[in-house]
């Protein structure tokens, strides 16, 4: 397993997120969150093994445009070094459309879900994206 600097990994995950946003080519508002570091669950607590995650969403865009953005992503990911490993629906009651992909070399994983507005809780239409790094040992 690679030994890496956590700040560098977070910056790489944020750059990858920006590239995914470009591929989506969707006009809407984007949540302003940065990448964060967490421990990799598959390792003992005393091991310094982490991953960086960058969750964000696009909202205030028409649902039909969000659907088109998901379709664009299906075409753009393989052209940009990603392998789609799941393209279907998630395990939620709403059965939201979901794309899961891994980058070449498996340095990054991507999870994109399209959520239809919900009357319960007044949730808006939302395109939810999470980019995360592979696990690494801290420097």
pLDDT tens by residue, 15-66: 999 999 999 999 999 998 899 999 998 777 778 899 999 999 999 999 999 9
pLDDT in tens, 56-112: 999 999 999 999 999 999 999 999 999 999 999 999 988 999 999 999 988 999 999
Exposure string for 115-136, b = 16+ CB within 10 A, e = fewer? beeeeeeeeebbbbbbbbbbbb
| Collapsed DSSP state (helix, strand, coil) of residue 139 | coil
pTM for the whole structure? 0.92
Q: For residue 45, what pLDDT is reported?
A: 74
Domains and CATH numbers, the chain: 3-138 (3.30.310)
CB 75 within 8 A of CB 87: no
Report the largest interatomic distance among the alpha carbons of the chain, rounded to a whole angstrom. 47
- Give the CA angle between residues 82, 125, 101 to the nearest 5°: 10
């Amino acid at each position: 397993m690679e030994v890496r600097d956590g700040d560098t990994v977070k910056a790489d995950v944020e750059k990858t997120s920006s590239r995914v946003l470009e591929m989506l080519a969707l006009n809407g508002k984007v949540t302003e969150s940065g990448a964060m570091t967490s421990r990799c669950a598959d390792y003992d607590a005393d091991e310094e093994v982490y991953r960086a995650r960058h969750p964000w969403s696009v909202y205030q865009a028409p649902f039909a445009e969000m659907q088109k953005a998901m379709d664009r992503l299906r075409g753009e990911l393989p052209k940009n070094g990603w392998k789609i490993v799941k393209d279907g629906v998630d395990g939620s009651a709403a059965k939201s459309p979901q794309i899961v992909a891994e980058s070449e070399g498996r340095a990054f994983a991507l999870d994109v879900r399209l959520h239809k507005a919900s009357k319960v809780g007044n949730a808006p239409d939302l395109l939810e994206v999470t980019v995360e790094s592979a696990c690494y040992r801290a420097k």
